[in-house]
Every structure is written in C-alpha cells, then in structure tokens.
Amino acid sequence: MPAFAQACDALEEQLNTRDGISAYLKQDTSRELLCAVALIQNGKTSSFCYAMFDYRSPDAHTALVRLEAAFPDCFPTRATSGAGEVVNHPDSFDQKQFCTPEYDLSLSFKDKATLSQTLVFLRLDESASRPNSCE
C-alpha cells in the first residue's frame, strides 16, 4: 500500500470517534476544547469538539487551514458553504464537509461577536441512511 494511502487510512481511523476528533483538533490548535454528543436524524449521533480563539484571531484561521490540509486528499468533499448574505448567528460562518466510509466529517469556522470569540469546530456525524452518504 502506498504511503499516501496509509496516511489517509490512519487519518480515517483517527477521526472515527469523538476522542479521535478531539485529539486531532487539540493537536493542531493547542487549545482547550469543548466536546459533546448530540442526536441527529434517524437516531444517529453527532460528536463534535470546538476550540475557542479571540474574535477574528489570525491564529483561528491558521488552525483551520492546518486542520483541513489532508481532508480533500483523503475524503470526498460533500459540500462547502458560507454564511451567505443574511447572517444573524453566528456573524460569519464557513463550513467544509467531507465523507468517510461510515461518517460525515464537518470542519467549520464561526465568528461570534457577542461572545468575542471565533470557534473552530470539528464534527463527526454518523451517516444518516447509507454506509457512505457520498455515494
């Protein structure tokens, strides 16, 4: 197996649990994290963690770039979206979604002026209906 494929397999293995996404996020942000699990459609779960930065901190953007560096090479892109023209909460929002064989992976960047924070989220959702929701 080529080294590139091995690196992608290792990344997929690391990111398939809440502890894994927490470790990946902490490694690249060097921040304390808040993590939780939520229920989503069809009784599936969503595990997420986020790191907090000062509002509109360049460090937050740098962390986002580092975090997402390997994703497009290893996982199919599902969607990319921003906040659009009308935003009431958060102030700005950028999200990239990727697929793994059994999960949907989401990396997002949220500016929240009211909290004076910028948040970098990494979320792992069980795929709603198929083993791989990108197929």
The rounded distance, in Å, linking the Cα atoms of 98 and 104 is: 6
The 10 Å Cβ neighbour count of residue 32 is 8
The strands making up 103-112's β-sheet, listed across from edge to edge, are 33-39, 45-54, 117-126, 103-112, 92-99, 77-82
Tokens of 91: 């102030």
Structure tokens at 124: 């792992």
pLDDT reported for residue 82: 56
d(CA 24, CA 22) in angstroms, rounded, equals: 6
Tokens of 48: 């997420």
User: Nearest-CA neighbor of 97 among 81, 111, 119, 85?
Assistant: 81
Tokens 């690249």 correspond to 28
In this prediction the pTM is: 0.80
Reading the chain (135 residues) residue by residue, the pLDDT tens digits are 556 688 888 988 888 888 999 999 998 888 889 999 988 888 888 899 999 999 999 999 999 888 888 788 888 887 666 544 444 455 777 888 888 877 888 999 999 888 899 999 999 988 755 554 555
Q: Helix (H, G, I), strand (E, B), or coil: what is residue 111?
A: strand
